[in-house]
Structure 1
Amino acid sequence: MPAAASFPWSAWAADAVLLLHFAFIAFVVAGALLLPRWPRLAWLHLPALAWGVLVEWNGWICPLTPLENALRHAAGQAGYAGGFIARYLLPWIYPAGLTPAIQWWLGVLALALNLAWYGLWWRQWRRRAHGARPVRPVRPVRH
């Protein structure tokens, strides 16, 4: 009996892990943009950002990659070598392949973007916390 018949849910589970992985990467890269709406999300985003940057800088493979591969094998599908970014994102962004230098720069980019977003959010939060009111635009006088 083929593996797909033994574990028919495995292909669906592998696809769910793939979507979770993609959502996590999007959250790492752009999660700070959600802070104006949900400020407490920073408690989840900062550790996720730290993890994402560490994975990139150290060339680690995220634990979701082997999990997805194991589920694909259980479903009778082929897995893939390397990490999630190398498999799904780099063919679109860097067709030549993932190198340690590219990984380092991806980590720098994620960190820089988020530091800028956190800085903007922090500045807005401080203004509101200290009672600074936004300046209202002046309406032109109609004659």
Structure 2
Amino acid sequence: MAAWILAFAIALIHGVLAVFLIVGAPLAARRPRWMKWYLVALIPTGVVNLTGQPCPLTVWEKHFWRLAGETPYRGGFISQYFIEPFYAPGLRPGDETILLVAVVVWCLFWLGYSAVLRLRLRSG
């Protein structure tokens, strides 16, 4: 039972982190005190994705599903919980790259917007 709870808790935290990476970008751009929290989430996520390593949260979640006697899902977390419920075939490797690039562009846009906004406030 403890392994099942741990797997579920990791999946829940992972989901909140994924949503925060998207929703947190404009939030951090408009509210500077949120920026440090956004960067704490963004930087490790970026390192994992840019180095092509498996996400540690996904690895831990699958490990605890196995300990709980469940068969873990195939593929990645985003495909399992955010894509497949709406698009059953899931993500292909090329789709993952497109999605990653879109998220990077989104984050860079808001980080750039935040920098420009702060520069204008300081000079104006």
The two structures share one fold, judged by TM-score above 0.5:
yes
Q: What is the alpha-carbon root mean square deviation over aligned residues?
A: 2.2
Q: 1:110 aligns with which of 103, 109, 123?
A: 103
2:13 alignment partner in structure 1: 20
What is the CA deviation profile of residues 18-46 of structure 1, one whole-angstrom value per residue up to 9, with x for unaligned ones? 01111222233333223232233354244
TM value normalised by structure 2:
0.80
Supply the distance in 1 between the matched residues of 2:26 and 2:48 (Cα, whole angstroms). 16
2:63 alignment partner in structure 1: 70
- Quick check: which has more Rg, 1 or 2? 1
TM value normalised by structure 1:
0.71
The one-letter code sitting in structure 2 at the alignment partner of 1:20 is I
Cα distance, 1:71 vs. partner?
1.0
The one-letter code sitting in structure 2 at the alignment partner of 1:44 is V
Unaligned 5+ residue runs, structure 1? 1-7, 133-143
Unaligned 5+ residue runs, structure 2? none
Work out whether 1:33 is the aligned partner of 2:26: yes
Work out whether 1:50 is the aligned partner of 2:43: no
Work out whether 1:85 is the aligned partner of 2:78: yes
The one-letter code sitting in structure 2 at the alignment partner of 1:111 is V
Number of corresponding residues: 121
Cα distance, 1:63 vs. partner?
1.8
Supply the distance in 1 between the matched residues of 2:12 and 2:6 (Cα, whole angstroms). 10
